[in-house]
Amino acid sequence: MSINLQTPIDYLKGVGPNRADLLRTELDIHTYQDLINLFPNRYLDRTQYYKINQLQRNSSEVQIIGEIISLKEVAQKRGKRLVATFKDDTGTMELIWFRGQKWIRESLKLNKPYVVFGKVNWFNGVFNLPHPDMELLEEHEQNLRSAMQPIYPSTEKLSNKGITNRVINKIMQQLFLETKGRFQESLSGNILSELKLISKSEAFFNIHFPKNQELLARAQFRLKFEELFYIQLQLILKNLIHKSKIKGLPFTQVGEYFNTFYNEHLPFELTHAQKRVLKEIRQDLGSNAQMNRLLQGDVGSGKTIVAFMSMLMALDNGFQACLMAPTEILSVQHYNGLEELANQLNISIELLTGSSNTSERKEIHKLLENGELDILIGTHALLEDKVKFKNLGLAIIDEQHRFGVEQRSKLWHKGPSQSDQNESKTSPTPPHILVMTATPIPRTLAMSVYGDLDISVIDELPPGRQAIKTVHRYDKNRLKVFRFIRDEIEKGRQIYIVYPLIQESEKMDYKDLMDGYESVVRDFPPPKYQISIVHGQMKPADKEYEMQRFIKGETNIMVATTVIEVGVNVPNASVMIIESAERFGLSQLHQLRGRVGRGAEQSYCILMTSHKLSNDSKTRLETMCRTNDGFEIAEVDLRLRGPGDIMGTQQSGVLNLKIADLLKDKDILQSARYYAKKVLGSDPTLKATENKTILYTYQQLGKYKNIWNYIS
C-alpha cells in the first residue's frame, strides 16, 4: 500500500509546524507530493575524500575526514569568529564560522572523526574551510546517501532559519523511508517500453539520490518527458473536447461575396501560404465545430487580406463579422484598408473606438442590432455591453497577447442566441474565433501555450517584396548615416527615426526625443525638408494629423517614439533608423523593421547604438543584421529572455515547469506531443485498459493541481 502523497508536510517526521510554515511560504511545499517534486538544482560529486596535504589553492569543493583538536574565538573588526583546528594524518587546517558561533560551539565534539565538506580558502599561509558542512563519520556512513550529492533550491530566509541543504536532504530521506520508495506509476506500459524509460519509483530515487551520472540522466529524462506529456495531453484533449462539445455556426457555403471578390477585386495574386491558410480556415468554418485558430504571419505577409476573405465567408452565410485591434491607430488602419475593399462589394463597414462620439456610437449600435451593419472594426470598445450584434458569426482578434482571457470571453458571448431544445432559455452560440499575430511565436512555445488552438502560419512574403537590408552603426558614424538619408530623400523616399520609450522614465525619454528632433532639424533644415514628430504625450488629434501628413507624403522624415511599432503602413517609407537600438527587445526591433519594406523598392534598417554594449545587446544586434526570419528571431529571443517574459503576464503561469526546460528540452517536448497525440488518436476518452494509469494520473492532476486552468 503506497502512502497518500497529499498528506500535509507538517506530518513528516523531522518537519514540525515551524519548518512546515517556512517550507510553505518559501518553497510552496504543502504536501508530501510537493516535496518529492522539489528537484535538485545541481549535484556535488562526494565520491572523493582528500587529505590535507593534497589541498590546492583553487577554491574547489573538497571533502576531508579528520578530528577537531581545539577551538578558539578570534576578535575581528565586527564581533568575533570561531576557529577550529582540524587535523588528519597528513597535517592541520582551520574551520571557520563568522556567525552562529554559540550554537555551533555547543554542538561540536572534540577528538571525534568528522567528515567536513566546503570550499577551500588560503589565508595567512593556512588552508581553511568557512562554514563547512559537517557530519560525524559514523552518521555519514549510515545515511541513505549517494555519491552525487543533491543541492536543492533555497532562499535566504530558509538558510537564516537553519533549514540548510543538509536539513532538506534529511527530510527527503525521511520521505523515502516512510513511502518505502514506492510511487505509483503514471505512464502506460507501452510508452515505458517504447521509450525504454525507468519506472516512476526508480526515477524519483535517482533524481534525489543518484548512484552515478547515467542513472541521474535517465531519471531526469523520464521526469521531464512525463511533465511535458501531461501538458500536451491536456492541451490536445481540450482541443478535442472543444471540437466535439462546442457547436459552431455552420458556414455551409462559399458564396457570392467571396467569389466576386476573389475573381474580380483581389488586388494581387495570393501566395501559396495564403491559399493554404484560407483552405484551413474554410474547413474549420464548415465543420460544425467552433473555429479556434491562431494565424501567425510575419509583418507584411498578408494576414489582413486573409482576415477579410474569412469575413466574406461569414457574410455569405448570413452572419456579421468583427475585427478587434489593441490600439486606435491600428484599428483605424485596418478600417481604412478594409473600407476600400468593402466598398467595391457594397458591404457596410464601420469603425468603433474610444474616440467615437455619442451620436456615431448610437448609430452603430442601431445598425448592428438590426443587422444592417456587416462588419465592425474597433478597439476594446467592441467589448462594451451596449454593443450587441444581430448575428455575429466570426470574431477576429489582432495581436491577441494584448487582450486578457476575460476580454476574449466577452466577445464569445456576443454570438447569436440559439434556443436550447431541452430548455426554454436561449444560450449564445459562440462566434468562430480567428486570432492573428505578427509576433512569431517559437514552435516550442506555440506547442506549449497555444497547443489547444489550431495554428496556421503564413510563411512566405508576397512576390515583389525585397528583403530589408539591416546594418548596425555606432553613434560616431552619424554623419555618414545622415548623408545616406539625404540620398534616399533625393530619390523621393521617406524616413522613420525611432527613439526608445520606457514608461518609468518618460521625462528622460521625452528629452532624448526632443534633443534628437532638434539635431535632425539642424541637419535637415526647412523648408527644403519637412519633418513630422509623434510621441505619447501628444493629443490624439495632433498625433493623427502628423501621421496623416507623413502617410500622404507631405513630410520626408517621421521622428517618433515606438507608437508606430504596430501597423502603420507607408509603402513609400524605405529607411528605418532605430536610435539607442540596444534599449529595445528583439521582437520590438523586428516589429519596427517591418514598418519599412512595404513597397517594391529596396529598404533599409539602421540600428544606431553607443559603444557600450552588453553581450545580450550584441547578440540581438547580430541576429537582426543576420536574418529577416521572424521565427528564427523569436527562437533567439526565447533563449535570451526565457519563456515567461515572452508570453507576457497573462500566460506566465503556463510555464511553471518543475523540471523540464522549454529551451533545452525541445526534443523531449516534441516526443511528448507525438505520444500524447498517438494515445488520444487511438483512445480519445482514455478508457482502454492499457491507458488506465494515464487516465488516473490525469484525473489526479486535475484534482490536486489547478495547473490546467491556465490556458485561455
40 and 62, same domain (yes or no): no
- On whether residue 258 sits in a domain, the answer given is no
- Of 493, 492, 499, 557, the C-alpha closest to 530 is 557
Angle between helices 165-179 and 200-208 (to 10 degrees): 160
Burial of 44 (0-12, 13-18, 19+ CB in 10 A): middle
CA terminus-to-terminus distance, the chain: 39
- On whether residue 424 sits in a domain, the answer given is yes
Query: For residue 658, which amino acid is it?
Result: K
Which of 627, 647, 679 is at the close of a domain? 627
| Helix (H), strand (E), coil (C) string for 227-246 | HHHHHHHHHHHHHHHHHHHC
421 and 570, same domain (yes or no): no
Report the alpha-carbon distance of residue 630 to residue 91 in Å, rounded.
62
Q: Which three cell numbers stand for residue 461?
A: 512574403
Q: What is the CATH number of the domain that holds 591?
A: 3.40.50.300
- On whether residue 202 sits in a domain, the answer given is no
310 and 451, same domain (yes or no): yes
386 and 433, same domain (yes or no): yes
Q: Which residues of the chain have pLDDT under 70?
A: 1-3, 143-147, 400-408, 417-427, 449, 502-510, 562-568, 642-656, 704-712
CB 248 within 8 A of CB 317: no
450 and 487, same domain (yes or no): no
- Of 545, 597, 588, the C-alpha closest to 570 is 597
Report the alpha-carbon distance of residue 591 to residue 565 in Å, rounded.
6
Q: Looking at residue 392, what is its pLDDT? A: 95
- On whether residue 707 sits in a domain, the answer given is no
Which of 432, 458, 484 is at the close of a domain? 458
Phi-psi domain of 7 (left: phi exceeds 0; alpha: psi -120 through 50; beta: other): beta
- At 583, which helix (H) or strand (E)? none
293 and 379, same domain (yes or no): yes
Q: What is the CATH number of the domain that holds 3?
A: 1.10.150
SS3 at position 106: helix
CB 91 within 8 A of CB 53: yes
- Of 13, 105, 97, 116, the C-alpha closest to 55 is 116
Domain tally for the chain? Answer: 4
Length of the chain: 712
Q: Looking at residue 568, what is its pLDDT? A: 64
490 and 553, same domain (yes or no): yes
SS3 at position 117: strand
Which of 579, 605, 627 is at the close of a domain? 627
CB 495 within 8 A of CB 485: yes
Domain encompassing residue 289? 270-458
- On whether residue 502 sits in a domain, the answer given is yes
Report the alpha-carbon distance of residue 281 to residue 316 in Å, rounded.
15
- On whether residue 559 sits in a domain, the answer given is yes
pTM: 0.68
623 and 538, same domain (yes or no): yes
Q: Looking at residue 421, what is its pLDDT? A: 42
35 and 111, same domain (yes or no): no
489 and 452, same domain (yes or no): no
In sequence order, what are the residues at sequence separation of 6 or more whose Cβ sits closer than 8 angstroms to the Cβ of residue 293?
A: 280, 281, 284, 433, 434, 435, 453, 454, 455, 456
Report the alpha-carbon distance of residue 104 to residue 119 in Å, rounded.
19
CB 378 within 8 A of CB 330: no
Q: What is the CATH number of the domain that holds 68?
A: 2.40.50.140
- On whether residue 351 sits in a domain, the answer given is yes
Q: Looking at residue 712, what is its pLDDT? A: 33
Report the alpha-carbon distance of residue 61 to residue 117 in Å, rounded.
7
Report the alpha-carbon distance of residue 702 to residue 707 in Å, rounded.
7
CB 469 within 8 A of CB 628: no
- On whether residue 648 sits in a domain, the answer given is no
- At 21, which helix (H) or strand (E)? helix 16-27
285 and 359, same domain (yes or no): yes
Q: Which three cell numbers stand for residue 571?
A: 509603402
Phi, psi for residue 243 in degrees, rounded to 5? -70, -35
129 and 173, same domain (yes or no): no
